[in-house]
Structure 1
Amino acid sequence: MSTPDPSTTAVPTGDAEEVAALRSRLDSLLPAAIEDLKDLVRIPSIAFAGYDREPVRRSAEAVAALLREAGMAEVVIESVEDGSPAVIGRTPAADGRPTVMLYAHHDVQPTGDVEDWTSAPFDPVERDGRLYGRGAADDKAGVMAHVTALRLVGEELAADGIGVTVFVEGEEEAGSPTFRPFIETHRDRLAADLIIVADSANWAVGTPALTTSLRGVVDLVVEVRALDHAVHSGLFGGPVLDALTQLSRLLATLHDEHGEVAVEGLLRAEDPTVEMEESDYRRDAGVVEGLDLSGRGSLTSRLWTRPALSVIGIDAPAVRDASNTLVPVSRAKVSLRIPPGEDPATAMEALVTHLERHAPTTAEVTVQRGEQGKPYQARHEAPAMDLARGAFARAWGVPAVDTGLGGSIPFIADLLEVFPRAEVLVTGVEDPESRAHGVDESLHLEEFAKVCLAEALLLRGAGALDRSRA
């Protein structure tokens, strides 16, 4: 990927000698940190409905133990009604000193078909400088980045009076359904001046990124019913189109002939000022060789500042089980990513309206609304942003790139609403080859070391920030 010149001046976060000393201490801590990360990956902490909840509890207990070992003064496991266990670790600030909240999540995505993995998803394996396993990057690496940074500079922060709160959620991959009531219930414990969310991606291996925008998300399930029950396709096919065919025709209306989202009324944000190499995108996304890309405009605009719509699941007979019958009913889950500035409720109504307008008269179409997550747009110029740029530049040796992210972290809007005076930084533990949510998810271990160093530098520099406690 191409790297633009930095446009801002980074705040110093320690001279070269101090950084070298910290890096040397980190080198001695990394082997244990990686082994601890492997132990976390071995716990199949999937918080989705229908999965065993015991591993999620076990994962929370493992995180709590790590935070206690890292020297946090208070560590508790909490949940609200119907919620998964989250971990809160606190070392309170001295009077008049700032508090930094470090966020990550210990739950993970389902694995999909384990046969598609090169190695078992919950049996972490190192290959060619990367650690493979579900959650190795997203986001148990974020958990361990926080733990490792505290092992590095925790005592120094306590001596300086800087408060640190670590908040490790247990249901982010399931949509954070109880996130808002949780942070409202535990507002006093979680209040902070600076919030660091370690759940994003860097620009490339060797180049850090500061995520300044995130798309939001809305999703729904659309059902098409053509018959009361399945019937023989030979005897009854012709006057009736099966539900799966009709669903396919309806879904095809969601994009135009160029692959652009065809839903009216959706917002487009301003195009980014940076661009990535198409060859890098094709490689990282796994685009089949020889195929055209969809949509128009720059790649970064298509990824960060324009809506993107995907069909992420269909209920229909599997090919191996298919019989010669007309499918009576079929369902699809549709996910729409929305750019900064878009209102999720408005986007949801636009999507529902489109489906209703294009519904065939030959079938019943119903829509079940799902998740609504807000997008995020950071202030490009802020003291914490400059502090982060300085820390990243020292840890990586190159300037950070201000980027958007096509993915969504809807709870950031909740954090800003509950703690309106806090600054939020979204940092990355992943790289474009991490395959978060996918098969063979992995973490680049050299990049992980830089993430830990950068966070330690950030925490050391937080004392210089003006205190504006939420």
Structure 2
Amino acid sequence: MDLSAARDYAREAMPRLLEDHATLVGHPSVAFPGYPREPMDAIAQDLLEMFRRNGVADVELLDIPGGYPAIHAVVPGPEGSPTVTMYAHYDVQPCPSSQQWHSDPWVATRKDDGRIYGRGTADCKAGVIAILGTMGAFDGTPPCTVRLLLEGEEETFSHIEDWVAANPEMVRSDAFIICDSGPSKVGVPSITSGLRGDVAFTVTLTTLDNAVHSGLFGGAAPDALVGMIQLLSTMHDQDGNTVIEGLHSFEWEGADVDEAEFAASAGAKDGVGLQGTGPLASRLWSRPSATVIGLDMVPVDQCSNALVPSVRARISVRIAPGADMAQELETVMEHLRRHAPYGATLEFSDDKAGSPFLGDTSGPITATALAALEEVYGSTPAQVGSGGSIPLVTELLHASPGAEAILWGPEDEEKAKIHGPDESVDPAEIERIMLAQIRFLTELGARSSG
């Protein structure tokens, strides 16, 4: 399908696709433990029906042991054509009331700026819709063999990496399209060539058998809360750089990031500077970044004049592309052991590790993808990184030696606000990525048949 025909298809299909997008957003498909299963089951059934309407007759629910099912199908292309697996996920982040949304997060709301607001509008139901529209363009007869793989628990404790490791033949492909990323801003084409990984764990610091009077014992008895503050502060220098000894790091060689635009996108308050030093792209994409994402202690409205005997913290460290996740996890834990104040007892639990990704952008499949982006957008694509993690990418490539992974999507970093309040997507980006995927599959199929 040439670009002109693809654009004609998109003009006709986009209104229907945006209706389907709104239906998906209406499902509070949170896969985190403790959330109801019914919305997950309901959205899965809707997805089956949507893909069947778009030419994927044999789409099915694929059982993922221990987790929610994946939406799966194999749509054969011409004999001898490459196999392309197209991935996105249909689960979303929770929406706690503390986020203070300006519209109902479970209603796709089109606002005056043209963007569609709601949880998952960008991450990753926009990617799902871009894949749905791509399949609809070929109505069951794609120019390549296409495998569909839509995960149901990417945002939480995913089980699909274990399934891939146990069933590599089920995902073996020549190329993977991971439609769960996006450009720096709307209308700027890009491919994500590096993803940071993530290692996370809970650390409990204990100093006393029980709480004691802060007047009688304060100043000498070791307070666990003060100790935890001291311990956590050792992970950063005074500029906010992560300084855990031994973590993998390098300087990013691709496109840089405009600091003023980034600060505005992050919602930095007037007069508050950015954290860290050096090129912003390196800080975001190729250096480690330690974050305290949870801290259990006495709430202010329940506090008393007492020293705290024990405190828990949840630590997440984004690790640089190319790093070994098990080694990085142990490096962080060892850093904390060495810096434990007063000889405090440290206990580690609930550790989790996700692989980083560093792509080889010199291959022919990546070249085809870049050409498709340039044709659709009318400008040269940038090769960017992402501080986010998609651990599945590394596992997919392990299952398919020699394959290439293309990471792109409609989630612009400037305004999408994924995982936060007022998440949104520009529908024009959904259309552009859909068009790029149509052209990519067309050219990949033509190259193999030629």
TM value normalised by structure 2:
0.94
User: Which amino acid in 1 is paired with 2:443?
Assistant: G
TM-fit CA distance, 1:97: 1.6
User: Which amino acid in 2 is paired with 1:310?
Assistant: T
TM-fit CA distance, 1:398: 1.5
2:292 is aligned to 311
Q: How has the CA–CA distance of structure 1 residues 184 and 296 changed in structure 2, closer, same or farther, with 3 Å as cutoff?
A: closer
User: Which amino acid in 2 is paired with 1:217?
Assistant: D
2:147 is aligned to 165
2:138 is aligned to 153
User: Distance in 2 between the 1:373 and 1:185 partners?
Assistant: 17
TM-fit CA distance, 1:236: 4.1
Correspondence for 1:441 among 423, 427, 432: 423
User: Distance in 2 between the 1:422 and 1:465 partners?
Assistant: 16
Q: Root-mean-square deviation (CA), in Å?
A: 1.9
TM-fit CA distance, 1:227: 2.9
User: Which amino acid in 1 is paired with 2:11?
Assistant: D
Q: Is the 8 A contact 1:129 1:446 kept in 2?
A: no
User: Distance in 2 between the 1:400 and 1:209 partners?
Assistant: 5
User: Which amino acid in 1 is paired with 2:397?
Assistant: L
For the pair 1:204 / 2:185, whether they are aligned, the reply is yes
User: Distance in 2 between the 1:319 and 1:41 partners?
Assistant: 36
User: Which amino acid in 1 is paired with 2:423?
Assistant: E
For the pair 1:192 / 2:173, whether they are aligned, the reply is yes
Correspondence for 2:25 among 41, 49, 56: 41
Q: Is the 8 A contact 1:64 1:89 kept in 2?
A: no
1:464 is aligned to 446
Post-superposition Cα deviations, 1:326-385, rounded to whole Å, max 9, x if no partner, equal 333211111111112211112111111110011122632212251112211111211111
User: Distance in 2 between the 1:308 and 1:349 partners?
Assistant: 15
1:6 is aligned to none
The DSSP-based 3-state class of the residue aligned with 2:42 is helix
User: Distance in 1 between the 2:56 and 2:172 partners?
Assistant: 16
Q: How has the CA–CA distance of structure 1 residues 58 and 230 changed in structure 2, closer, same or farther, with 3 Å as cutoff?
A: farther
* Greater Cα offset, 37-46 or 273-282: 273-282
Q: Percent of pairs identical after alignment?
A: 38
Post-superposition Cα deviations, 1:225-271, rounded to whole Å, max 9, x if no partner, equal 23333344345433324322211111011111221112111121243
Q: Is the 8 A contact 1:73 1:90 kept in 2?
A: no
TM-fit CA distance, 1:155: 4.5
TM-fit CA distance, 1:453: 1.2
User: Which amino acid in 1 is paired with 2:29?
Assistant: S
User: Distance in 2 between the 1:447 and 1:203 partners?
Assistant: 12
TM-fit CA distance, 1:188: 4.0
2:316 is aligned to 335
1:353 is aligned to 334
TM-fit CA distance, 1:122: 1.2
Gaps of 5+ in 1: 1-13
TM-fit CA distance, 1:53: 2.1
Matches within 5 A, 1:234-253: 234-253=215-234
Q: How has the CA–CA distance of structure 1 residues 86 and 156 changed in structure 2, closer, same or farther, with 3 Å as cutoff?
A: closer
Correspondence for 1:62 among 17, 26, 46: 46
Matches within 5 A, 1:156-305: 157=142, 160=143, 162-176=144-158, 178-184=159-165, 186-305=167-286
User: Distance in 1 between the 2:343 and 2:166 partners?
Assistant: 49
Q: Is the 8 A contact 1:198 1:427 kept in 2?
A: yes
